[in-house]
Structure 1
């Protein structure tokens, strides 16, 4: 019976950590894309507003709308920067989790190769034993 990989439990834990980090990274990237899309929509909406002022009250309203829009764009810029930082942090966590898992995966691959080599060696020894026994029996049977 083949010897089990001694670090199988730890390997599974590392793989779960890697999958969790990948999920967090995907969520952070989705939030980052969403913030960028919100910025693009806000800028497009601002470009579509007509700039024709017919009287003073319209001009004051346009100035107030632009000031409000400038504040909104600043908030969206801050949100986008925050989302970028979160995505970068999630990428770093994923990279670290992947590094920890890869080392154990390589050990497991090496272990499996060793187990297969041992099984093949044992099988070859059994075949050699059978062949040697048959040869000796044939030789003893020929002399008798």
Structure 2
């Protein structure tokens, strides 16, 4: 039996892919949270705009500010939706990478268990051989092994 796991290189590659996918997932989740927080801040800023107009120029400024804010909110909503989609795609990629790695990890664990079992079997055979040899030597030394 081979002492080293023959698919160790492939397993390492799968683990690297899984780590990379986990990193991408973390980054996508951070962007998703950031987009949501920016959206909340923009809505809060919109609520802070005074609604009282004392003259026409103030009314026009309020209208322009609201139009700008609505446009910004629409952009932030689109950004949040894109960030959500990216996070979902990153989650799916991570799940797939993890599935590919888990199969090889199970094979490696089974290989390690077989190596340990083989080592223990060889050790037990050596112990049995030593014990049998000692028993036969003791028997020969007593004179019973000469056919008497």
Matched, 1:54 2:58: no
Matched, 1:14 2:14: yes
Question: What corresponds to 2:4 in structure 1?
Answer: 4
Question: What corresponds to 1:33 in structure 2?
Answer: 33
The equivalences for 1:104-119 within 5 A come to 104-119=104-119
Which runs of 4 or more aligned residues in structure 1 lie more than 2 Å from their structure 2 counterparts after TM superposition?
none
Shift of 1:2: 6.3
**Cα distance in 2 for residues equivalent to 1:55 and 1:133:** 112
The equivalences for 1:127-138 within 5 A come to 127-138=127-138
Aligned pairs, number: 144
Shift of 1:57: 1.6
Which structure exhibits the higher relative contact order, with contacts defined as CA atoms closer than 8 Å and separated by 6 or more residues? Answer: 1
TM-score, normalised via structure 2 length? 0.94
- CA RMSD across the alignment: 1.2
Q: What stretches of structure 1 of length at least 5 have no aligned partner?
A: none
**Cα distance in 2 for residues equivalent to 1:142 and 1:2:** 44
